[in-house]
Amino acid sequence: MPDVSEILSLQSVALTRDKQIMVEEEVNNYHDATNFVIREILKRRLSSTARTIESLQDEIARKYLHLRGSVGPLSQLKDNQLRAEFARRFSISTIQSRVRIDRDPSETDEMFNIRQRRDFGIIYETQYIRDVVKTARVEIGKHSRLAQTLRSIRERKPYFKPGRIIYSKPIIQLSDDAKAVLLLTGKGDEVPLVFDKRTRNESIDILQALLEKKMKYERVRIISNREGYLDIVFRIQ
């Protein structure tokens, strides 16, 4: 079993223009959300992950998930209405490929589909907030350590640089054939990010072990490498 710090790095094939646009939007939104959390942690002196989530979860969800791509009257809806609108973005097939939600025998097909979307919307929102908060707190910790040795850093505020997203399941997961990771955006789009042949072949044993659950991965980092390509980095447990 690998050490908790073991890293698996792969590269993507060139993304189509449509995929580039979807990934770029997700990256930009994640960048904005993470820096918002960094600012609020420092301003409100939020000393723990639990306090940060408790204090900021509704605001993060509303700004960076529920209202994405919306204009006009949608922004006037209450939080429970926004969550219902958000949940409808995800297809039933996508939900069932990512999580298991058991059906109550008394539920009709329509009732079960509504509940699957509602439950998955909550699962997605919860994981998104955890991932963004974790990234923000890691960035603050990194900045603090650097500030102890570099005077120039002390006068700057922590800042999460653009070009990266760091997600956990079920927002991102390995495909069933181990040839890609499947990114599920906050708009409900599933974007396959296909590994290039060379790095996939070099890592095939580990990828197979991940598929067979002999190994587990935590978060997956996606980094904009050069135009149309991505670095895809797994942290292996």
In the prediction, which pLDDT does 73 show?
Answer: 61
Instruction: Encode pLDDT of 208-224 as tens digits.
Output: 999 999 999 999 999 99
Contact 8, 236 (CB under 8 A): yes
In the prediction, which pLDDT does 1 show?
Answer: 39
Which stretches in the chain have pLDDT values below 50?
1-4
Instruction: Encode pLDDT of 154-170 as tens digits.
Output: 778 899 999 999 999 99
Burial class (CB in 10 A: 0-12, 13-18, 19+), 230: buried
Q: Is 206 helix (H, G, I), strand (E, B) or coil?
A: helix
Contact 217, 210 (CB under 8 A): yes
